[in-house]
Amino acid sequence: MAVWDSLKGSAERITGLGRPSAAELPKLVRSRKANLFRFGDDGVIPNHPRWPLIVYRGAVRFGTWLDPAAVLEDAFAENGWRQAWRNGVYDYVHYHSRIHEVLGVARGTAEIRFGGNRGRKLAVKPGDVAVLPGDRPQMPVSQPGFPGRRSLSRRRHLRPLPNQRRSRPGRGDNPHVPRPKRDPVYGAQGPLLHAWR
């Protein structure tokens, strides 16, 4: 299914079918409260010591003829969060060490545990967006600090849209991932810029 979604995404980028216009895109983003979740080091997942996981419930709505994944891709790209791919969430605990990540739910529902085995289970549904902070400041490269996540259940073909924001375009070897300049959903004035100080 991930291969099909990737091919579909490529076709949409070429043809523009299923994608929102520049005028439509801002109307699909809803103003939502930032739900903040802080996690300590659980012995396996180090988690960021200061920056919380941010979850926006129902932040993006989808038009009837638009592809939900395309709407999320365009909304994130508009704010400088590119390098998107379409896939699900693994059913084992994992994290990334040198990137921030935004996860937008395009289809289906799931229960995902964020923050490692001692973290928090959150139910997600289409239109929800989670933003996970990258590396801990002043932390050796060998000790990543990304909030771990694991899909505990998938219902109705969950199709989250992960999207990474690296410290430098095309580079993944910077041991410190700086704070992004824009919130992936709300841009330069988004809640992320206040929560990740």
In this predicted model, what pLDDT tens digit does every residue of 145-168 receive, in sequence order? 335 555 555 544 445 555 555 444
Q: Quote the tokens at residue 17.
A: 């079918």
Query: Residues 59-81: what's their mean pLDDT?
Result: 93
Give the pLDDT score at 149: 52
Residues 19-48 pLDDT 10s = 999 999 999 999 999 999 998 887 777 888
**pLDDT for 82 beyond 50:** yes
Residues 111-145 pLDDT 10s = 888 888 888 999 999 999 999 887 543 333 333 33
Three-class DSSP labels, 120-151? EEEEECCCCEEEECCCCCCCCCCCCCCCCEEE
In whole angstroms, how far apart are CA 5 and each of 10, 19, 73?
Answer: 9, 14, 12
Give the pLDDT score at 48: 84
0.95 exceeded by pTM = no
**pLDDT for 11 beyond 50:** yes
Query: Residues 50-78: what's their mean pLDDT?
Result: 93
Give the residue with greater pLDDT, 70 vs 98: 70
Rg over alpha carbons for the chain, rounded to the nearest Å, is: 16
Query: Residues 10-21: what's their mean pLDDT?
Result: 73
Provide the residue type at 93 as one letter.
V
The 3-state DSSP class for residue 190 equals coil
Give percent of the chain with pLDDT exceeding 90: 40
Domains of the chain: 2-169+176-195 (2.60.120.10)
